[in-house]
Amino acid sequence: MKLFWKFNRLILSLFYNRKFLKGKYFDESRWGFLWAYRGIPRLWKWKRRGIHFPVGKNTRISNGKNLEFDNSSLNIFQQPGCYFQNETGKITIGKNVHIAANVGVITANHNPENPDEHLPAKDVVIGDCCWIGMNAMILPGVHLGPYTTVGAGAVVTHSFEEGHCIIAGNPAKVIRKFDS
Higher confidence at residue 133 or residue 14?
133
The CATH T-level fold of domain 58-180 is UDP N-Acetylglucosamine Acyltransferase; domain 1 (2.160.10)
User: Which of 52, 98, 110, 118 is the catalytic position?
Assistant: 110
Model pLDDT, residue 121: 96
118 part of the active site: no
CA distances from 3 to 17, 42, 75 (A): 20, 27, 24
Question: Which range, 11-20, 45-54, 58-67, is most confident?
Answer: 58-67
The predicted-structure confidence for 65-106, as pLDDT tens digits, reads as follows 999 999 999 999 999 999 999 999 999 999 999 999 999 999
Q: What pTM did the predictor assign?
A: 0.89
Measured CA to CA, the distance from residue 63 to residue 167 in angstroms comes to 28
Output phi, psi for 117, to 5 deg. Answer: -105, 150
CA torsion 119→130→49→15, rounded to 10°?
170
Measured CA to CA, the distance from residue 114 to residue 39 in angstroms comes to 38
pLDDT over 70 (residue 1): no
- For the chain, the structural domain boundaries read 1-57, 58-180
Strand pairing report for 91-93 and 124-126: parallel
Measured CA to CA, the distance from residue 16 to residue 26 in angstroms comes to 13
Count other Cβ atoms within 10 Å, centred on residue 43.
15
pLDDT over 80 (residue 180): no
Measured CA to CA, the distance from residue 43 to residue 165 in angstroms comes to 37
The kind and range of the H/E element at 39 are helix 31-39
Output phi, psi for 138, to 5 deg. Answer: -105, 120
The mean of the pLDDT values for the chain is: 91
